[in-house]
Every structure is written in C-alpha cells, then in structure tokens.
C-alpha cells in the first residue's frame, strides 16, 4: 500500500503550497497518473479520502484524476505507440521490444483553492 | 528538526484563468516561488486576492476560488531526499546499490556472502530494511561488516528520508560500497528512488519464472537482474530462457547475472559488475572533487 505514503506526500505538498501562497483550503486537486506509473489510481483516490481529514488544508478537497496513456517506442518497427501496460506487445507490429517513453507520470497538476 | 529535513523548495505560481493560453513546464523544471514570467497574466505568490472573477475553465462560476498550477511530482518530496543522498554518495565516492526482491529470494544470504568476500579489498556497509526485527542486520554484522537495521513498521518500502537518517548512524568509508537491502516486496519499492546508483532485482529460481510479467514495474526500474539459487535448477522446472525473455520484455536493457550464493557459482560475475559500477562512482567523485577544486581556485583568485 505505498499509495498511502504517496497520498501523504500529496497532502504535504498541499500544506506547503497553502503556506507559501497564502490560501486556507484546497477545494480540488488535479492529479495526473500515467497508465504505466507505479500507482493504482483508484487506490490513490481511496487513500486520499481516508487521509485528507487529518489536514485542515485538504479536508474538503476533491481529487480529480487525469489518466495519461502509456507511450512507448517500438524498437522492432521504430514507431511510437500507445500501450496500456508494460507487458503489452507493439500494437502495430507485434514486437516485444518496447522502450517506455511516457505515461509513468505521477504529478499534482493544479489546485482549486480558496 | 533533523539535518536532512528542512528543504522547503517551493515550485509554484498562480495565475488567473481568464487568459486564452495554456502553458506547461517540462518535468524536472525547477524554480522558486518568486520568479517572474513575461506572460500577461498575474503571478502573485504569497498573496491571496479574492473576488477577481471566475476561477476558470475547470470550475466556472466560483468567484471565491482560484486555480493554482503547481506541476509537482507526487514523489517530489522523496526525490529531493534522494538527490541529497545521491550528492552525499558522490562526495564520498560511494557506490550505493538498492537490492529489491520478494521475501525469500535469498537477498540476505547473497549479501552475507558478498560482504564476506569483498570486505578484505574494499569498505562495505549495509542498510537492512524490514518491517520488524533486526535479524538481518545481525546476520550481516556477524560477517564483520557494519550494518544498520531500518524497521519500517507498517511501511512497505524504504524511502529516501530513511536512508538519509541511516547514513547519519552508519560509518561509511569513502570509496566503498553501500548495499541497501529493501523490504522484501516486488511492488512498492519500485517507485522510490533512494539516491542509489542502481536497483538490483533478485529473483530466485524457486519462484515463478513469470514474475517479471507479474511485477513489471520493479523489473522496469532495475538495471540488473540476479537469478539466484541456480544450483537448484536441476531439481526444478524453472525455464531460465523464458524468465529472461519476460524480463527483457518489460526492460529491454536489463542486465543479467546467474548465480548461487550458496554454491558460489556466478559470484565472480556479480563482483565484476560491482567493480564496474564502483569505477563509475569513483569517476563521479573525481568530477565532483574537480568542480570543488575549481571553485576553490576561483575564490582564491577572485
């Protein structure tokens, strides 16, 4: 359940930002999660609901998850492709040598605050 | 507050959403909260302005709310500590390796054997991560090598902050090797950079050969895969070729060493690999020291 420590990391960022930028509450947080990241988006949302109450800044925050597709470079057919998971074969040529080039993001993108 | 805590790097800027363009920063782009842009929208860090109109496209009609674009990596907090650790390793010319695997793959046995074989020719230290008990650190210390146990309690992985603290308590000789034995878990430690030079994933042939496909994140994050307990292969139906093909499917660049910590087979390959990585660490140290020297010379001249 490393989603729990990731969630605590998100709340820490919200609290740091609240102090640095002088807002009291976060109403919503937009989080980008790549399909190839090491986090399960549903588990993250679940943990966030469990943990946010402990933080005055985040207690009322809603988490919006933006999914980003997995991107890879097929070394067999030399083309960029979109994949759902790391073990996928190339959807164009069926090759199995894919180098992941994107979609492993775990990023807090934007906040709605007041 | 501890000496490794207290980094308060803020990366943020605010902007109203009534302008017609969007901009993003590439990952890793780093700047403090008070920087200036020449965009036409407002950046006012440290100030809260109510009533400046709708918050923007995401939430039309909310007059008291505003949008704050922050673009921070969720693991940013861990990564800052990892960078500090990496700098500390580089300054000492220390090679740090993060050993990850399922429970029972033979990490500790391999480390005991490695510590015993290497300690005569180079300084070795070990950080042992487990949820509970100091059994593993006790086993390492019995080889005569300094070891520190980190118990994560309920935690499923070591993080960079724990390693920073561990380094305060552990005597680390310059130009040595620090082995970090992570919590036995093929899932969670994959995402947590500890500042190590490389992750080494250990898979034993008594496990399933399909583990690289079942736990792809870890095999994608590792530079080297060690296939351990190969002395048992004659008694098992483990298909080495399949296993390696699975690992290369998730990580085409992954390196492979087959060994047995018990029989000693393949250990020389492992030690050669460590020596090669250590050369890299020493080169990094030379670069860091030369930069330091150049800075000192400049101060002297200036």
Average pLDDT over residues A6-25: 93
**How close B201 comes to chain A (CA, Å)?**
16
Q: Is A39 on the interface with B (CB under 8 A)?
A: yes
Q: Give residue-wise pLDDT tens across range A27-86.
A: 999 999 999 998 888 999 999 998 999 999 999 999 999 999 999 999 999 999 999 998
Output the pTM of the full model. Answer: 0.80
B75-80 LR contacts (CB < 8 Å, sep 24+): B75/A6, B75/A9, B75/A106, B75/B191, B75/B192, B75/B193, B76/A9, B76/A13, B77/A9, B77/A12, B77/A13, B78/A9, B78/B159, B78/B160, B78/B161, B78/B192, B78/B193, B79/B160, B79/B193, B80/B7, B80/B9, B80/B160
Closest CA to A34 of A90, A94, A82, A99: A82
Q: Give residue-wise pLDDT tens across range B184-199.
A: 999 999 999 999 999 9
3-class secondary structure per residue, chain A? CHHHHHHHHHHHHHHHHHHHHCCCCEEEEEEEEECCCCCCHHHHHHHHHHHHHHCCCCCCCEEEEEEECEEEEECCCCEEEEECCCCCCCCCCCCCCEEEEECCCEEEEEEEEC
Q: Give the integer Cα–Cα distance in Å for B18 and B51.
A: 13
Contact between B187 and A27 using a beta-carbon 8 Å cutoff: no
For residue B46, pLDDT beyond 80 = no
Nearest to A38 among B67, B213, B217 (CB): B217
pLDDT computed for residue B117 by the predictor: 97
Contacts of A25 in chain B (CB under 8 A): none
pLDDT computed for residue B218 by the predictor: 96
∠ CA B152-B154-B156 to the nearest 5 degrees? 70
Residue B187: CB atoms within 10 A of its CB come to 18
B64 pLDDT band (50/70/90 cuts)?
low
Q: What percent of chain B has pLDDT over 70?
A: 79
Residue B65 dihedral angles phi and psi, to the nearest 5°:
-100, 160
pLDDT computed for residue A97 by the predictor: 86
pLDDT computed for residue A1 by the predictor: 61
State the burial class of residue A52 (Cβ atoms within 10 Å of its Cβ: 0-12, 13-18, 19+).
buried
3-class secondary structure per residue, B235-262? HCCCCHHHHHHHHHHHCCCCEEEECCCC
B200 pLDDT band (50/70/90 cuts)?
very high
For residue B8, pLDDT beyond 50 = no
State the burial class of residue A78 (Cβ atoms within 10 Å of its Cβ: 0-12, 13-18, 19+).
exposed
Q: Give the integer Cα–Cα distance in Å for B126 and B140.
A: 8
Contacts of B213 in chain A (CB under 8 A): 87
Q: Give the Å distances, CA to CA, from B39 to A110, B13, B15, B86, B279.
A: 18, 12, 10, 36, 47
- Contact B127/B107 with Cβ under 8 angstroms? no
B155 pLDDT band (50/70/90 cuts)?
confident
For residue B63, pLDDT beyond 70 = no
- Contact B157/B189 with Cβ under 8 angstroms? yes
Nearest to B72 among A99, A107, A114 (CB): A107
Closest CA to B150 of B123, B178, B177, B174: B178
∠ CA A81-A87-A93 to the nearest 5 degrees? 40
Nearest to B47 among A17, A22, A28 (CB): A22
pLDDT computed for residue B171 by the predictor: 83
Nearest to B220 among A31, A86, A107 (CB): A86
Contacts of B74 in chain A (CB under 8 A): 6, 9-10, 13, 31, 39, 106-108
pLDDT computed for residue A103 by the predictor: 95
pLDDT computed for residue B20 by the predictor: 37
pLDDT computed for residue A96 by the predictor: 87
pLDDT computed for residue B35 by the predictor: 38
B70 pLDDT band (50/70/90 cuts)?
confident
B253 pLDDT band (50/70/90 cuts)?
very high
For residue B156, pLDDT beyond 70 = yes
∠ CA B163-A29-A5 to the nearest 5 degrees? 25
pLDDT computed for residue B57 by the predictor: 39
Contact between A112 and B191 using a beta-carbon 8 Å cutoff: no
Closest CA to B114 of B266, B279, B282, B284: B266
pLDDT computed for residue B284 by the predictor: 85
Contact between B252 and A99 using a beta-carbon 8 Å cutoff: yes
Average pLDDT of the residues of chain B: 83
């Amino acid at each position: 359940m490393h989603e729990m420590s990731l969630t605590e990391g998100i709340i820490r960022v919200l609290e740091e930002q609240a102090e640095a930028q002088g807002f009291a509450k976060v109403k919503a947080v937009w989080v980008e999660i790549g399909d190839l990241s090491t986090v399960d988006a549903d588990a993250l949302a679940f943990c966030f609901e469990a943990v946010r109450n402990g933080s005055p800044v985040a207690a009322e925050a809603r988490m919006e998850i933006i999914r980003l597709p997995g991107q890879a470079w097929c070394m067999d057919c030399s083309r960029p492709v979109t994949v759902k998971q790391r073990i996928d074969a190339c959807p164009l040529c069926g090759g199995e040598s894919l180098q992941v080039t994107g979609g492993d993001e775990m990023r807090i993108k934007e906040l709605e605050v007041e | 507050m501890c000496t490794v805590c207290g980094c308060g790097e803020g990366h943020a800027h605010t902007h109203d959403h009534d302008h017609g363009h969007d901009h993003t920063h590439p990952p890793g782009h780093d700047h403090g909260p008070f920087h200036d842009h020449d965009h036409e929208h407002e950046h006012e860090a440290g100030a809260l302005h109510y009533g400046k109109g709708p918050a923007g496209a995401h939430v039309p009609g909310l007059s008291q709310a505003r949008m704050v674009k922050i673009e921070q990596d969720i693991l940013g907090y861990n990564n800052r500590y990892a960078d500090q650790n990496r700098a500390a390793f580089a300054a000492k010319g220390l090679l740090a390796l993060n050993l990850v695997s399922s429970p029972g793959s033979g990490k500790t046995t391999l480390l005991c054997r490695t510590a015993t074989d290497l300690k005569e020719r180079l300084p070795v230290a070990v950080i042992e991560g487990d949820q509970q008990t100091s059994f593993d650190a006790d086993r390492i210390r019995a080889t005569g090598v300094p070891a520190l146990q980190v118990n994560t309690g309920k935690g499923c992985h070591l993080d960079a902050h724990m390693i920073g603290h561990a380094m305060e308590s552990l005597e680390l000789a310059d130009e040595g090797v620090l082995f970090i034995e992570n919590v036995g878990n093929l899932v969670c430690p994959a995402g947590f950079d500890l500042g190590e030079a490389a992750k080494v994933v250990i898979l034993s042939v008594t496990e399933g050969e399909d583990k690289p496909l079942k736990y792809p994140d870890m095999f994608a994050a590792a530079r080297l895969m060690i296939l351990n307990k190969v002395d048992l292969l004659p008694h098992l139906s483990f298909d080495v070729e399949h296993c390696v093909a699975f690992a290369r499917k998730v990580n085409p660049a992954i390196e492979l060493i087959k060994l047995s910590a018990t029989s000693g087979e393949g250990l020389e390959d492992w030690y050669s690999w460590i020596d090669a990585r250590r050369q890299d660490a020493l080169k990094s140290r030379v670069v860091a020291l030369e930069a330091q020297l150049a800075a000192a010379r400049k101060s002297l001249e200036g």
